[in-house]
Amino acid sequence: MAYLLGVVLFALAILISVSLHEAGHMLTAKAFGMKVTRYFVGFGPTLWSFRRGETEYGLKGIPLGGFCKIVGMTPQDDDVEPGDEKRAMWRYPVWKRTIVMSAGSITHFALALVTLWILAISAGLPNPAYPTTEEQARQEPAVVALSDCVVPDNTARACAPGDAASPAAQAQLRDGDRITSLNGLPINNYGQLLTTLRGLPPGSTATIGFVRDGQPGTATTTLAKTERPPLDDPKGAVGPVAALGVGLIPSTPTRVTYGPVGAFGATADFTGEMAVGTYHALQRIPQKVPALWTAITGGERDVDTPISVVGASRLGGEAVENNAWLVFFMLFVSLNFFIGVFNLLPLLPLDGGHIAIAWFERVRSWIYARLRRPDPGRVDYLKLMPFTYAVILIGGVFTLLTVTADVVNPITLFSR
């Protein structure tokens, strides 16, 4: 029940975001005097509507987005009634059209930023000092988290019958103990612990020095055997090594909370990281298409493959089911930021495509004026229709792939 509630809540959050996107277009267009004839949430048959002034507002039967109709978006549009010619959108200055067309993405960015600011002062944002690479982790103090077992091969899986019990657990170590020595050799960080273990034969006896709650102690255990690649060559050939059955508990917290003022800076820093991550994610989209096809045809689903609204809603359901509300809201933030950036790509029919054409016209007119040549006028959108249809087709196929993958082989964040 909680899972279904989470799916519905996330889908509703997406619908509200898209509706506010269209409201951004509508409100800025009206503020500049453009004529907006329709604003609807959803698509398909009209369920309910009313008219206020010159605009019809309403709900439609398929809750998969929304739209607003601004009269005369292009010179080729035939929706301009007599007497409204001056209010056609394409006749307005390029800076006004830019604001109107970018208002949708700005709305998504605003939703993401406000949500991040609230999270920063309540649940906290990811700690920039938290170790995210193996090299950073090796510099951390050897504060350990006990494993239930030692997996004998170089795979990431749950414990199975026959796996050796964790030697550290058998030595009565506890989560949070800091290992300070191994067979008399000092251990100053987690990297030294790994290096020292590699110098010991599996099955040998190890004497462990540790600190617990400020008090030193010692324990003795028999090291287990596992398979690992060399520490200096993670992609090298695996071989038998000694294992203690522990992981690392970083000394820095995963999240940091801020005051109302400090949260602005933290939000800005995190947004910068998201911008870089989104840029790289967009670059990787073409190479992820084969991975999506592999997931659809029965292969393992790569967690780094793109997801659709269906996949995002399913992850939102998992988050609610596991009471991981921070994950829920971070998904909401990430999705809004990605949609905002994606919608500004200079491709028709995206808003960024209309903005790019408006500025192309402006620059071209400026150049022709300097050359004392007649203004070439507006771009003929009809000539761009084949390119527009190609973008729609590619986008439709990609959406179909992601939705199918999210249905038949979804990404999961939590074990169910």
Give the model confidence (pLDDT) of 116-147 as tens digits. 999 999 988 988 878 877 788 888 888 988 88
Q: What is the DSSP pairing of strand 144-146 with strand 185-186? A: unpaired
With a CB cutoff of 8 Å and minimum separation 6, the contacts of 208 are 168, 171, 173, 179, 181, 182, 218, 219, 220, 221, 244
* 325-342 vs 94-121: helix crossing angle, rounded to 10: 170
Largest CA-CA distance found in the chain, in angstroms, rounded:
92
Q: What is the pLDDT of residue 415?
A: 59
Between CA 258 and CA 124 the distance in angstroms is: 7
Residue 140 a catalytic site member = no
Q: What is the pLDDT of residue 282?
A: 85
Q: What is the DSSP pairing of strand 178-182 with strand 255-256? A: unpaired
Cβ-count burial 347-369 (b if 16+ within 10 Å, e if not): bbebbbbbbbbbeebeeeeeeee
Name the catalytic one among 22, 56, 81, 140.
22
In angstroms, the Cα distances linking 341 to 73, 74, 335, 390 are 22, 23, 10, 20
Which residue ranges form the domains of the chain, and what is each CATH number?
101-127+259-416 (no CATH), 134-248 (2.30.42.10)
**Encoded tokens for 209:** 């020095």
Q: What is the pTM of this model?
A: 0.82
Q: Which of 258, 172, 252, 270 is nearest to 212 (CA)?
A: 172
Q: What is the pLDDT of residue 264?
A: 94
Q: Quick check: 73 and 89 in contact, CB under 8 A?
A: yes
Between CA 96 and CA 87 the distance in angstroms is: 12
Q: What is the pLDDT of residue 135?
A: 80
Which residues of the chain carry a pLDDT beneath 50? Answer: none
DSSP H or E segment with residue 228: strand 224-228
- Can you tell me whether residue 37 is helix, strand or coil? strand
Between CA 350 and CA 388 the distance in angstroms is: 9
Q: Which of 88, 72, 76, 79 is nearest to 382 (CA)?
A: 76
In angstroms, the Cα distances linking 168 to 9, 72, 199, 242, 388 are 43, 72, 17, 12, 62
Helices (H), 233-324: 262-296, 309-321
Between CA 288 and CA 310 the distance in angstroms is: 18
Q: What is the pLDDT of residue 54?
A: 93
